[in-house]
Amino acid sequence: MYCKDLDCVLKEANEILEEYKVPLRVNSVLFESLPFGQHARYENGTVYINSVHYEYITAESGNEYGIISSYLLLVILYAVLREYYGDDWKNKLLTIVNEKYGKDSIIYKMIEIVQL
């Protein structure tokens, strides 16, 4: 998955959620200050992404859109799945990412890098 803009990432996220029968949808993404340990949260169709974490990933990746889009997709799915599945969110996230992209994908490796 290589998106060059946020609309593409949102479309991909919503398609995955629909495919895996998660009834929540993401209408928008906002970047804001969240507590340090919180990567993102879902609320009423909006995913709030920790702006400090996002800026760090962007800087460290050298603005590489494949890495940035993988990070955005990952934290969007994280926020929605955490809201919907509660404590079982990580198992579902690992399953989805493995089935859709494989264990050798950037997004799968990103799970460990960002320590979800």
- Say if 54 falls within a structural domain: yes
Q: Which pLDDT tens digits describe the chain residue by residue (116 residues)?
A: 678 899 999 999 999 999 999 999 999 999 999 998 899 999 999 999 999 999 999 998 888 888 999 999 999 999 999 999 999 999 999 999 999 999 999 999 999 888 88
Q: What is the pLDDT of residue 31?
A: 97
- Say if 1 falls within a structural domain: no
Show the domain range for 33. Answer: 6-113
**CA geometry: angle at 85 spanning 65 and 9, to 5°?**
20
Q: What is the CATH number of the domain that holds 82?
A: 3.30.2010
Q: Which two tokens stand for residue 22?
A: 């998660």
Predicted structure pTM score: 0.94
Find the DSSP H helices in 24-88: 51-61, 65-85
- Say if 44 falls within a structural domain: yes
Q: What is the pLDDT of residue 112?
A: 87
Residue position matching structure tokens 């990070």: 71
